[in-house]
Chain A
Amino acid sequence: MTEKTTILNLPEDELVHPGNRACAGCGLSIVYRIGLKALGRDTILVVPPSCLTVLQGLYPIAATQLPCLNVTFASTAAAATGVLGALRAQKNKDTIVAAWAGDGGTSDIGLQALSGACERGEDLIFICYDNEAYMNTGVQRSGTTPQGVITTTTPFSGKAQKKKDVPAIIAAHGIDYVATASASYPLDLYDKIVKAKTIKGPKYIHVHTPCPAGWGFDPRYTVKLGKLAVETGLFDLYEIQNGNFALTGASEKLLGKDRKPVTDYLKTQVRFKALSDEQIDNIQKETDAKWAIYNEEKNG
């Protein structure tokens, strides 16, 4: 990454109005505010049903200063394709088209359209804000809900299956830019979106986004929880550029160092309360094994 943005040179231009309809402590509010700063005013947004639909306001009032097309749940990337097609027909090669969906709208119902757009090489930025369940409809499990998490559709023993690795699925399409980011590292997110704008073809950015209401923590800890996910090595910040994987930012700094134990993250959220000590041990072991590979690759 070239010159890193700091709080001192982040654009002051605000594209999201204050007083929007997001919950207190909403991680998406951070991601959206910073993300729009990075995208800039020459952008058209495409948004399926999600918490963002609510954040953006109820007709006839809107919380965003960008043109935004609300579309059906399964069609986000296809609709972004349509906007791009119209812009090409109008000889407009400058306007950025950014699709912005939740984890359900990306990893479950929206995956077919996203895969199609990636395969066609559509020149779009797809941002998935991953709060790890269907939060807007009341915390139902999604493809990206981690194993063991209590949701309203995994109410007692937690989700049995593992979290779907969406960035890896998208990277398998051979697109030029895949990155992960976190609501708790907004400047890293900002720089990744700015970089994505310079790359032709599909760009995918997967943003870990803490949700106080859905995860069961005090809204004051949103940033802290997002940082803990990274510091424990559970959620990693990285880029896959032209097929080359590299940890970035706070995750890169963890290479060769001791990480915080996963319990620091898991014990501070109600959604993990069904995890047994054995399950937590397993999560720690899996995390250690993943990081052993990262460290080996760095040294090798």
Chain B
Amino acid sequence: MHIIESGNVAAANGVKLARVQVVAAYPITPQTPLTEKLSEFVDAGEMDAEYIPVESEHSALAVCIAAASTGARAFTATSANGLLYMNEQLHWAAGARLPIVMCVVNRGIGAPWTVWNDHQDAISQRDTGWIQLYCCDHQQIIDTVLKAFYLAETVSVPVMVCYDGYILSHTYMPFEIPEQADVDKFLPPFKPAYALQSGQPANLNTVTLPDVRPDVRGDMAPGYMEIRHNLHTDMRDAIEVLADIDQKFAGVFGRNGNPYIEEYRCDDADFVAICLGSLSYHLRDVVDILREEGLSVGVMGLRLYRPFPDQAVRAALSRRKGVVVFEKALSYGNQGALYADIKSALYCTAEKPAVHNYILGLGGREIKTDQLVECFRNSCRHPETIDDEPQWIGLKM
């Protein structure tokens, strides 16, 4: 069924179709319409799930952690400071290897307070052991929610589905809501690797010692480092798994794209802009304008940020003359986090393109097409002269 609705409603429909069993959430703008919609689905009997209106985001993820540990498919959603309030629980969910899916409706973080969009919330949580997927439109939001459950449950790693606050969450766009029967064909019911069960003694997530230790039968059990190493290698494996899931999704729904990087007019481009989220669609206009001027440019939207698809990034970028990284987040005192990741991926290539970094749109600062055109044009014309410091767009100092 095709409808015209908001990004938050697209996400809510994805969650419903995924037959989520436990939803826990705490209100925060701009996530709220998503969880309001889910509570409507549950209250109306359209969704057979427990909706638990918790007293904080920390508790929202606590509920999901415990529900997933007890074998239920669990979902939450948040934004900004709500995500930061979950920080301890994010690490816990990943360390406990629980396939929770969470929508992060991207928003800037205080202080000072801002309710508007940037990516500092999700980027600041990149090292928590969660997979991070980014969406550019409403169809991607609903599709990505479905793929996220499949991915999370295949590799036993939790997944964040990130999409831009307001720009996607509150705007209306046509998209297709898949048929439940097709979703059931694509996404099998959750079969937990282990679940708490009455009569089955277990002591989950208990205290570990620095070294490995034998169990009661004398068999050596993995220690903390082995457990953490497995999290890392399974996250690396998730890169391949995501491609397989994307293929399977295409088989059922007839829609897919490159699961790592969505390209626009990049085939012959000497200069490529790259970014996360809906900004890549905005940059398509910029690419069209600069192509009119005769510049050989394209734009890439990175769909998977963690695990970082470094091979795909290298393959896509290594032979370009220049790469321009536009970011709505910053590793304070250094550079844009994505910029640093891309340079790192390109370090081992023979022909290194010039790489530039622009910081923009923090706290919802308006991003104007003519500003993007000017910056991208400047990077194309003077690839070697721009220094390594991030350049700020739209700063009024």
Residues A67 and B205 in contact, CB atoms below 8 Å apart: no
Chain A 40-58 near chain B by CB (<8 Å), digits 1 or 0: 0111101000000110111
Sorting the interface of chain B by its residue count into under 10, 10 to 19, 20 to 34 or 35 or more gives 35 or more
A75 at the interface (CB under 8 A from B): yes
Q: In the complex, which of the residues A61, A89, A94 contacts B49, with contact meaning CB atoms closer than 8 Å?
A: A89
How distant is the Cα of A86 from the Cα of B70 in the complex, in angstroms? Answer: 6
Judging by beta carbons under 8 Å apart, are B65 and A82 in contact?
Answer: yes
| A85 and B59 contact, CB distance less than 8 A | no
Q: Which residues of B contact A71 (CB under 8 A)?
A: 62, 65-66, 92, 205
Cβ of B334 within 8 Å of any chain A Cβ, yes or no, is no
Q: Are B204 and A68 within 8 A (Cβ)?
A: yes
Q: Are A80 and B66 in contact (CB under 8 A)?
A: yes
Which stretch of A111-119, A147-155, A273-281 is in the interface?
A: A111-119
- A residues within 8 A CB of B199? 41-42, 67
Given A46-B66, A113-B59, answer yes or no on A86-B201 (Cβ-Cβ < 8 Å): no
Tell me whether B64 is interfacial, beta carbon within 8 Å.
Answer: yes
Determine the chain B residues whose CB is within 8 A of the CB of A74 once the complex forms.
58, 88
- Is A64 among interface residues, defined by CB-CB distance under 8 A? yes
Closest to A66 in B: B201
Question: Does B299 sit within 8 A of A, measured CB to CB?
Answer: no
B59 touches A116 (CB 8 A): yes
B329: CB under 8 A from chain A?
no
Whether B66 contacts A67 by the Cβ 8 Å rule is: no
Residue of A nearest to B91 (CB): A72
Is the beta-carbon distance between A62 and B89 smaller than 8 angstroms?
no
Q: Say whether A72 contacts B70, CB under 8 Å.
A: no
Pair B70/A87 contact, Cβ less than 8 Å: yes
- Interface residues in chain B, defined as those with a beta carbon under 8 Å from any beta carbon in chain A: 21-22, 24, 48-50, 52-56, 58-60, 62-72, 74, 88-89, 92, 196-209, 213-216, 221
Within the assembled complex, what's the spacing in Å between the Cα atoms of A65 and B203? Answer: 9
Query: Does A298 sit within 8 A of B, measured CB to CB?
Result: no
Known contacts A65-B201, A71-B65, A79-B63, A112 near B55 by CB under 8 Å? yes
Contact B62 A78 (CB under 8 A): yes
Chain A residues positioned under 8 Å from B53 (CB to CB): 120
Q: Is the CB of A82 within 8 A of B66?
A: yes
Given A67-B196, A75-B59, answer yes or no on A62-B69 (Cβ-Cβ < 8 Å).
Answer: no
B203 cross-chain contacts in A, Cβ below 8 A: 56-57, 59, 62, 64, 68, 70
**A260: interface (CB < 8 Å):** no
Complex: A90 Cα to B71 Cα, angstroms? 9
Question: Could you say which of A46, A67, A72 contacts B202, with CB atoms under 8 Å apart?
Answer: A67
- Interchain CA distance A64-B360 in the complex, whole Å: 54
B21 pairs with A89, CB closer than 8 A = yes
Report the minimum CB–CB distance from A60 to chain B (whole Å).
4
Q: Are A120 and B52 in contact (CB under 8 A)?
A: yes
Beta-carbon contact of A60 and B63 below 8 Å: no
Task: Name the interface residues of A67-108: CB closer than 8 Å to any CB of B.
Answer: 67-72, 74-75, 78-83, 85-90, 92, 94-95
Interface residues of A (CB under 8 A from B): 41-44, 46, 53-54, 56-62, 64-72, 74-75, 78-83, 85-90, 92, 94-95, 112-113, 115-116, 119-120
Known contacts A62-B206, A79-B66, A86-B71; is A67 also within 8 Å of B201 by CB?
yes
Cβ contact within 8 Å between B206 and A53: yes
Residues on B with C-beta less than 8 A from A119 are 55
CB-based contact B204/A69 at 8 Å: yes
Please measure, in the bound complex, the distance between the C-alpha atom of A135 and the C-alpha atom of B209, giving whole angstroms: 20
- Known contacts A59-B213, A82-B62, A89-B22: A116-B55 contact under CB 8 Å: yes
Residue contact B66 to A69, C-beta cutoff 8 Å: yes
Contact B66 A72 (CB under 8 A): no
Whether B206 lies near A82 (C-beta < 8 A) is no
| Alpha-carbon distance A272/B200, docked complex (angstroms) | 44
When the two chains form the complex, which single residue of B56, B65, B213 contacts A58, counting CB atoms closer than 8 Å?
Answer: B213
Please, could you name 10 A-B residue pairs with CB atoms under 8 Å apart, sorted by A?
A: A56-B203, A67-B196, A71-B66, A71-B205, A72-B58, A81-B66, A85-B50, A86-B21, A86-B22, A86-B67
By beta carbon, the residue of chain B nearest A43 is: B198
Minimum C-beta distance from B217 to chain A (A): 10
Pair B67/A59 contact, Cβ less than 8 Å: no
